[in-house]
Amino acid sequence: MSIAVYPGSFDPVTFGHLDIIQRGAKVFDHVIVAVLHNPNKNPLFTVEERIALIRDVIKNMPNVTVDSFHGLLVDYMRKMNANAIIKGLRAVSDFEYELQMASINRKLNDEVETFFMMTNNKYSFLSSSIVKEVAKYGAPVSDLVPDVVQVALRSKFRVT
């Protein structure tokens, strides 16, 4: 059985992430969306809130689950018996960082393979940071995130 992990901050999950999850779920038997507990970042949503939002958007995807992890991704992969990492690439600017991450992950565990998927062109500009910036000033994000995330953003920024 092929188990893939799609790791990230997902602060919050966007249509760009969702596109990768849906396409990844067609290729791998099981996709685990894994939210990193990152003490170095100052997130808008708690890990629990991010998991709840992801759980809502994957509710009709039988082979996708959501979880969180601390520490190194390769250690989490071992624990979950997973051997594939899924990453979305939006533009050339993502490439250098992702190459570095894929290389270090392979060095740490050469059983793990990273699979890159080109983000749908519709979402090539999209990131969680951009979404938060737009939502903070009350502009619509309905084309960028699922409804449940839009509601959560409104409530965080107290926009009506």
Residues involved in catalysis: 17, 41, 90, 128
Q: Near ligand PNS by CB under 6 A, which window of 6-14, 46-54, 116-124, 149-157?
A: 6-14
Binding mask 43-72 for ligand PNS (x = CB under 6 A): -----------------------------x
Beta bridge partners of 35: 8, 68
Tokens of 123: 């979402």
Nearer to ligand PNS, 38 or 138 (CB): 38
Residue pair 89/95 in contact (Cβ under 8 Å)? The answer is yes
Specify whether the CB–CB gap between 10 and 131 falls below 8 A. no
Let me know the angle formed at the C-alpha of 9 by 35 and 84, rounded to the nearest 5 degrees.
Answer: 60
Q: On the CB side of 144, how many CA atoms lie within 13 Å of its CA? A: 19
Nearer residue to ligand PNS within complex by CB, 24 or 158: 24
Q: Of 68-107, which residues contact ligand PNS (CB under 6 A)?
A: 72-73, 101, 104-105
**Interface positions with ligand PNS (CB under 6 A):** 7-9, 36, 72-73, 101, 104-105
